[in-house]
Every structure is written in C-alpha cells, then in structure tokens.
Structure 1
Amino acid sequence: METEPSNGLARAIDRVRGQRAVVWAVITSTFFIGFGGGVVYPILPNLGAVLGISPWLVGAILSANRFSRLVANAPAGGLVDRVGTRTPFVVGMVVQAVATGTYVVAMVAPFPEAWFMVARVGWGVGSALVFATAYTIAADVSDGGSRGANMGLIRGGVLFGFPTGVVIGGIVSEVAGTVTAFSVATAFAALASVVAYWAVPETHVEGERSQSVKPWDVNTSLPALTVGTVNFAVFFVYIGAFFAVLVLFLDQAQLRVFGFDAQGSSGIFMGITVVAAGVSMYTSGAISDRRQSRVPTLLVFLVATSLGFLLLAAVESLPVLVVACLLIGAGQGGTSGPLMALLGDLVPDAEMGRAVGTNNVLGDLGGGFGPIVTLPLVETAGFDPIFVACAALPLLAGGLLLAGVRRETGQFVPRVES
C-alpha cells in the first residue's frame, strides 16, 4: 500500500513534469514563430529596387513591427490579466502566422509595399500578445526555485528564432527563391500556432474572468517600473547602440575577419554576442534560482555589459574585440532570465500580464531610441565617448535596481521567498 508521503512525492513529480511540458511548448512555439520576424531582413532590402520600393520605405517597413508592438504592449498585458494567457497566446501566434503568409501575397499582388507594411504592423501586434503571455505563463507555472531558469529558457526561444529566420531567409531565398523562403517561414509559423493550440493550457485566470481589468490598464508599480528601467538600459546599449554603430566602428577601425568587409564582419561579431547571450540566459536564471536571490546575479551581468563597452573604447586588436563582444552578449543575455524572474517574484500573479507589458514597452523604447541618439552623436563626438557612456548606463541601471528593490522589500538583496 502506498503511503501518503509517496503519494505527495508522486504529485510533486507530476506537477514538475507538467510545468516543464508547458514551458517547452512555449519555447517551441516562440522559436518557430520567430522565423517570420527574421526571414524578411536578408530579403527585403534587396527587393527594394526590384519592387520599386524606396530605401526610406524599406526602412519604415522593417521598423513597423517595433512601433506597432510599442503601442500594443500595454494593452496586451492588460488583456492577459483580464482573460488569461491561453487565448491571447494562441491568437498572437495565429496573427504572426498570417502576417508571415502576407509576405507571400506581397510578392504577387499589386502595391507590394502596402502588403509588406500590413504584414509588419500585424506582426508587431501579434508579437506583443506572444511576449506578454509567454513570460506570464513562465511566471505562472514556476516557483522561486525554477522561475529564473524558465524565464531564461523562454527568452532564449524568443531570441534564437529571429537569427535563425535571418539565416534561413538568406539561404533558402538564394537557393530556391524569395517566395519559397517566405513560404517556409509561413509553414513554421503555422506549426508554431498548432503547437500553441494543442499544448499550452490556461495558466493565469481560473474560474471567472477578471472583468475589472481593462485592456488599456498599465502597471505603474515600483517593481514594474524598476525592472522596466533596467530593461530599457540593457536594450538601449545592446540593440540601440552596439548593433546600430558596430558596422561603422569596424569600418573606421579597419577590423576585419575572414576577408569580409565591415558589413560581413559586423554580422559575425553580432553572432558572437547572440551565442554568448543564449548561453548566459539559462545559466544566469538557474544560478539565481539556486542562490534564491536575483539581485547579485543581475549586478554581475550588468557589470559584464559595462566592461564590454569599456573594452570597445580601448579596442586595438581582434582578440580584444571578441572578448568585448562576449562580455556584451553575456551581459545582455544574463540579465534576461533573472530580471523577468525578479518581476515575477515582486508582482502579484493577477498583475503579471500588465507588468510584463510595462517591461516590454520600456525595452522597446530603449531599443528604438538607441539608434536615434547614438548614430548622430557618433558623427559629432566619435565612438569612444559613446562607448564610455554605454558602459556607464548599465551601472546606473544597477544602482536604480538596488534602490527600487530596497524600497519595495526593505532589503538590497532580498531572498526569493521574501
């Protein structure tokens, strides 16, 4: 006869297995759907001349998803807290799949620029729903001992889907044509939608819906604003500064690899940062779980980001540049898991969707305004002052993190259970 403790252990094991199944379903869906976000990048710039689209319009099309997502992030978070995670997650996946399929339509229909613009705007709205729900699902099915690792895993799925789409888009379009590349991306997006529909359960709202939550409500609590500000700083220096000026920096410094020019070399160094970020995402989250405290891990990776930009300001050789890229990538990825886990630790479950929306809004603002600020300043002040300023920003964010956490919890380094 089984004893009560053994029954309790069996239930605990089943619960952990169920949590892992949900997390891996979310990871699989976000990875495959990410193809559609990246596949357009190596194709559309070259199609500008063929389709008669001006370079300015090509840039507007490529950026349209970010601006539509910026508008949709907060309402998406409110919607999650109102109706739950499953429906917005599946709908977001389907919207992104349809948007990816619209690329194919754009290749054969009149006014292709209009179709591409509609696709990118739709993609941004769909991704806002997916991002708001993915992190909320991870928070819902995790506890203090697994939240950091799960957040890092889901962030990794989101991260690696995009560059994989870039690679697939470039290779398949070269070998089999542009329409085939877009069709392959659409097929993967449809697969992601099917996985989401069949494998992702409702995790956030039980029983009656939270009708009191309005879709336009925004979480402006201290934890949401503190975590969002750190996210702003990280995205500003990584996407907004590093990615925006790297090709110009390599051109001026005459740093090249494998015989490529500045453009090809910048892609390789960006890839180094992405790999470093992917490795550090899961490991940093798992470390914060084991230590039962997020703040020390976050500070370590914020300092790593700062050191990477200081090395950029002193770069004189390729080995130093590689180390700088590794530090910047590891710093960016290493903050992702613990930062979202900290948000889940500090925000009530019923408000997590809106808190994630606030965090995503601030992150998109950082990534969006970074190039607007850094590119003109590079022309007037040069690279070194920009890199030094980017080194200071993560440290400032770390100080704000400590202040916000201290104000919220009464401790600079609170434990997860507190």
Structure 2
Amino acid sequence: MTITNGNAKRPITLVALVTAFCLLGDSMLYVVLPIYWKEAGLTSLWQVGILLSVNRFVRLPLNPLIGWLYNKMPLRVGLVTAVLLGALTTAGYGLFQGFAAWLILRSVWGVAWSLLRMGGFLTVIAYSDNSNRGRWMGRYNGLSRIGSLFGMLLGGLLAPVFGLTPVALAFGIVALAGLPAVGIFMPNGDKAAPPRPSSPADDGQAEAGPVAWYKSAAVRKAIATGLVLSMLQAILTATLSLVIDTNYSGVQTLFGIALAGTALAGVLQAVRWTAEPLLASWFGRLSDGRRGRLPLFVASLLASAAGFALMPWPLPFALWLAAVLLVMIAGTAMSTLMDALASDAARTASVVAVMTAYSVATDLGSAIGPAATYALAGWAGGLVPAYVGSSVIFAAFALWHFPRRRQRAASDMAGSA
C-alpha cells in the first residue's frame, strides 16, 4: 500500500475521534462517581475504587485475545464492535443501578477499550511509514484525549445540574454517533496482518518474521520501557491532589483565581488534556525529522526525571507549578514517542503480536503504578521516596535509550536495540 498524507489522514482522524466519543463516559466517572455514588446504587465508597479500576485488570488477560481477533478480522469489524460496546456501557451507567450491574458494565468497557486502543494502534501502523509515523501517532493520541478532557469537564458541570442518569444517557448517544462514521468511512477489508516493511531500513529487520518477534531486542526494549514508563506516569494522575494537599493545603492562586487543592489538581489536569492534542501532534512530527525519535525521547525522560525530583517538596508555589507543567509536557512527548517507537519495532516483526504485548505491558504498568505508590507511601510515611525513586528510574531509562553512533545511523527503533 502506498501511503500518502491524504489517504492516511482520514482513517486515523476518524478512529481518534470515535475513540474520543467513547471515552466521554469513562472519563466522566472519574469526576462524578466519587461524589454521586449513591445515585448509582452503590452502598459504600470502596465500591467506587473497584469500579474505577476493574476495567484495567479485565484488559490484562483480554489483550492477547483481542490481538488474535484483529489478526483474523478487518479493523472495521473490531472498531464497530468497540463503539457498540462503549455506547451501551456508557448508557448503562444511567439505566442500571447497583454494584453487581456496574461491575459488569465496567468489565464490558474494558473489552471495548481494548478493541479501541488496539484498533487505533493498528490503524496508525497500517496508514503510516517511517517518515510520518510519529506525526500520525501524535495526531491519534492528541485527538483521542479530547474525549477525556470533555468527559471530565462536561461531566463535572452537567452532573450537579441534571444528575448522573441524563448525562450518562447523553454521552452514550454521542458515543453511538461514531458507529455510522466507522461503518461508512472506514475502509473495508483492512486486516491487521503483518505488513511489508515500509522502508529499506525495515528490510533488514523483517526477516525475523512473526514467529520470532519476541527475539527482537528492539521489541523487548519497547515492551519493557512501555511497562515501566506507564507505571511511573500513572503516579502523577493518582497522587497529584495528595501532593497538593500535603504541601499546599491552603487556597492557592492560579491565573488570579483562588483554588483549593482538589480544584487545583483538576484544573492542572484539564490544562494538560487541553494542550495535549497540539503538543502530541507537534512532538510526533518533530520525531519524524532527520534526527529521529531517540534524542527527543531521551530529552523527555530527563525532563521527567527533573520534574519528579522537584514535585514532592514544599517549594515556592511558582517553582512547584513549573515542575508540574514540565512533567506534564514531558509526559505528552514521552507517551507519543513511546507509542511511535513501539510501532516502529512492530513494523519489523509481527504487528499484532508486538502491539498486543505492548498493550498488556502498558496496561499492567498503569494498574501497578498507583497501588505500588500508595503502598510505598504508607510504608515510608509520604510520597517523597516514590517521586525521588521515579526520578532515578527516568534518568536510568534515559541513559539506556541514549542514542549511540550506531543507533543514529540506523532507523529509530531498529537502532535502539
């Protein structure tokens, strides 16, 4: 398949926007459910924690099955199924009550998200090559995250006025709007079979074949990096409000507005999701240039190391805020570039097998990160060891990925082996 910007833009943008529509309901719950849990028919606050995490654990054993299915069916079939499941589960938040019913809904959402995420990865790989993969991966990540932004903002604004049920039903209808878009505009017959190498740089690696994909040092490195970095990045989302409450318990002023700790954490996350569509695309496009992805990836790791080392301390508020923004910007670059590097590695072996393993690794890291952090915080009496330890790990991974002369001469991921 000859890939041009024209025939790549539409399917990648389409899948990203459909993913954003489906993320509305899931993202809404992280803001709404901890407050309106009684309206959902729950009897205790601990049930909220289980419901917000069960979808992650469901994905761990399911990702290999999802990868196998994508190897057998067209991308469009998987995406249509994902949209249907996502819309039904989101509407179900407004139709069903009780812990058992919601546990089923959240588990089904885990299936839908696995189909969406894997479908997004495979779409980018299918419609990109080494000259533009970073750009398209950035576009996909950035646009899909708009759903998280609007889910949190609109859910937080509308739920107090209309209640959980009407908002969930409305978000379910919006998610369902992605169904005709996929059915009409997504090309039919595009199977996620291992593609031919997209450039001469890939030819030398393709001989490993789908059977020996796990023997590739580049693949193993991408999977290991995805596991650890997703674990570290989950720490920020899970503990930001606690860091603020610990070090800045009073009201702080941001852009002339007085905000309490939880509100400040929400505003900072909203700023991150707002900027991510532009930044992710920009970082991805930058990584497609002559210098490649590794120098920018290493820079994002070092920036994260510096920011994490500063964040847990009671610094002057302006300096602390700068450290948080640095970590958020570096996190956007890191996520986009890590996905692009994993996609580069997948193009040299078995696409579905590699991206399945990568998805399992990143899901596992996201699930482990918050639990391990709070366990360490309870044992050590604070978050400082977790953040300082994370800073050291970021720096170590920067050193591991630092481009050597041989790496700069080869393609990004092939050279990073």
Q: TM-score range by the shorter chain?
A: 0.7 to 0.9
Same amino acid, percent of matched pairs: 22
Matched, 1:236 2:231: yes
Q: Structure 1 pair 245/95, CA: closer, same or farther in 2 (3 Å)? A: same
For 1:173, which of 137, 159, 170 is the aligned residue?
159
CA distance in structure 1 between the partners assigned to 2:19 and 2:42 by the alignment: 33
Counting matched residue pairs gives 391
The partner residue of 2:52 within 55, 58, 62 is 62
Q: Is the 8 A contact 2:223 2:342 kept in 1?
A: no
Partners of 2:213 and 2:90 in 1: how far apart?
31
The residue type equivalent to 2:230 in the other structure is: F
Q: Cα distance 1:413–1:175, how it changes in 2: closer, same or farther (>3 A)? A: farther
Asked if the contact 1:144–1:417 (Cα under 8 Å) also holds between the matched residues in 2, the reply is no
Name the CA distance, whole Å, in 2 between partners of 1:326 and 1:395.
Answer: 18
Cα displacement (A) at 1:311: 2.0
Secondary structure, in 3 states, of the residue corresponding to 1:157?
helix
**Equivalent of 1:38, from 2, 27, 30?**
27
Query: 1:248 maps to which residue?
Result: 242
Looking at structure 1, the residues matched to 319 and 169 of structure 2 have their Cα atoms a distance apart, in angstroms, of: 41
Q: Corresponding residue for 1:74? A: 64
Q: Deviations over 1:167-193 (max 9, x none)?
A: 121222222222210111101110122
Residue 275 to residue 306, structure 1, CA distance change in 2 (3 Å): farther
Correspondence for 1:182 = 168
Match of 1:390 in 2: 390
Q: Does the Cα contact within 8 Å between 2:128 and 2:136 map onto a contact in 1?
A: yes
Q: How does 1:123-138 map to 2 (within 5 A)?
A: 123-138=109-124
Q: CA deviation at 1:67?
A: 1.1
Q: Residues 309 and 247 of structure 1: is their aligned pair in 2 closer, same or farther, counting only changes over 3 Å?
A: same
Give the aligned partner of residue 359 of structure 2.
360
Higher helix share: 1
Aligned twin of 1:270:
269
Q: Are the equivalent residues in 2 in contact too, given 1:310–1:387 (CA < 8 A)?
A: yes
Distance 1:354 1:204 in 2: 17
> How far is 1:369 from its partner?
0.9
SS at match of 1:80: helix
Task: Measure the CA separation in 2 of the matches of 1:388 and 1:343.
Answer: 27
Where do 5+ consecutive residues of structure 2 fail to align? 196-210
Q: 1 CA distance for matches of 2:193 and 2:243?
A: 55
1:246 Cα shift?
A: 1.9
Higher deviation after alignment, 299-308 or 43-52: 43-52
1:155, 1:281 within 8 Å by CA — same for their partners in 2? yes
Q: Is the 8 Å Cα contact of residues 237 and 370 (structure 1) preserved in structure 2? A: yes
Contact 2:240 2:265 in 1 (8 A): yes
The alpha-carbon distance between structure 1 residues 275 and 218, as it changes in their structure 2 partners (threshold 3 A), is: farther
- Mapped contact 2:247–2:313 kept (Cα < 8 A): no
- Could you list the per-position Cα deviations for residues 332-369 of structure 1 after superposition, in whole angstroms to 9, with x for gaps in the alignment? 11022222222222223772122222112111111111
| Equivalence for 1:194 | 180
**Partner of 2:288: helix, strand, or coil?**
helix
Q: Does the Cα contact within 8 Å between 1:149 and 1:283 map onto a contact in 2? A: yes
DSSP-derived class of the 1:291 partner: coil
Between 1:184-193 and 1:14-23, the stretch displaced more is: 14-23
* CA distance in structure 2 between the partners assigned to 1:413 and 1:264 by the alignment: 48
Written as runs of structure 1 = structure 2, the 5 A alignment for 1:185-224 is 185-202=171-188, 204-205=190-191, 220=214, 221-224=216-219
Describe the shift of the 1:247–1:413 C-alpha distance in structure 2 as closer, same or farther (beyond 3 A): farther
Counterpart of 1:226 (choices 216, 221, 237) is: 221
- SS at 2:109's partner residue? helix
Matched position secondary structure for 1:201: coil
* 2:314 maps to 1:319: no
Is the counterpart of residue 338 in structure 1 residue 337 in structure 2?
yes
Cross-structure match for 1:140:
126
Q: Is the Cα–Cα contact under 8 Å of residues 145 and 292 in structure 1 kept in the other structure? A: no
Task: Select 2:411's aligned residue among 409, 412, 415.
Answer: 415
TM-score of the aligned structures, taking structure 1 as reference length: 0.85
1:25 matches 2:14: yes
Higher deviation after alignment, 227-236 or 184-193:
227-236
Asked whether 1:329 is paired with 2:328, we answer: yes
The CA RMSD over aligned residues, in Å, is: 2.8
C-alpha separation in 2, matches of 1:228 and 1:416: 15
- SS of the equivalent of 1:347 reads helix
* Deviation at residue 327 of structure 1 after TM alignment: 1.3
The answer to whether the Cα contact below 8 Å between 2:248 and 2:314 also exists between their aligned partners in 1 is no
The 5 Å alignment of 1:37-116 reads 37-50=26-39, 51-107=41-97, 112-116=98-102
**1:233, distance to aligned residue in structure 2 (A):** 2.5
- Do the aligned partners of 1:347 and 1:355 also contact (CA within 8 Å) in 2? yes
Q: Structure 1 runs of 4+ off > 6 angstroms? A: 206-209
1:28 to 1:52, Cα distance in 2 relative to 1, 3 A: closer
Q: Residue 85 of structure 2 aligns to which amino acid in structure 1?
A: V
Distance 1:218 1:168 in 2: 47
CA separation of 1:78 and 1:315: change in aligned 2, threshold 3 A:
farther
1:282 maps to which residue? Answer: 281
Residue type of the alignment partner of 1:193: L
- TM score, norm. by length of structure 2: 0.85
Deviation at 1:391, TM superposition (A): 0.8
In structure 1, runs of 5+ residues without a counterpart are 1-10, 210-216
Distance 1:413 1:63, change over 3 A: farther
Question: Hey, what does 2:374 align to over in structure 1?
Answer: 375
Deviation (angstroms), 1:281: 1.4
Query: Does the residue aligned with 2:51 lie in a helix, a strand or coil?
Result: helix
Amino acid across the alignment from 2:47: L
- Would you say the 8 A contact 1:96–1:126 is kept in 2? yes
- Residue 203 of structure 1 deviates from its aligned partner by 7.0
Letter in 2 for 1:251: D
Shift in alpha-carbon separation, 1:369–1:362, aligned structure 2, 3 A: same
Contact 2:139/2:281 (CA < 8 Å) preserved in 1?
A: yes
- Corresponding residue number in structure 2 for 1:3: none
Alignment correspondent of 1:5: none
Deviates more, 1:321-330 or 1:335-344: 335-344
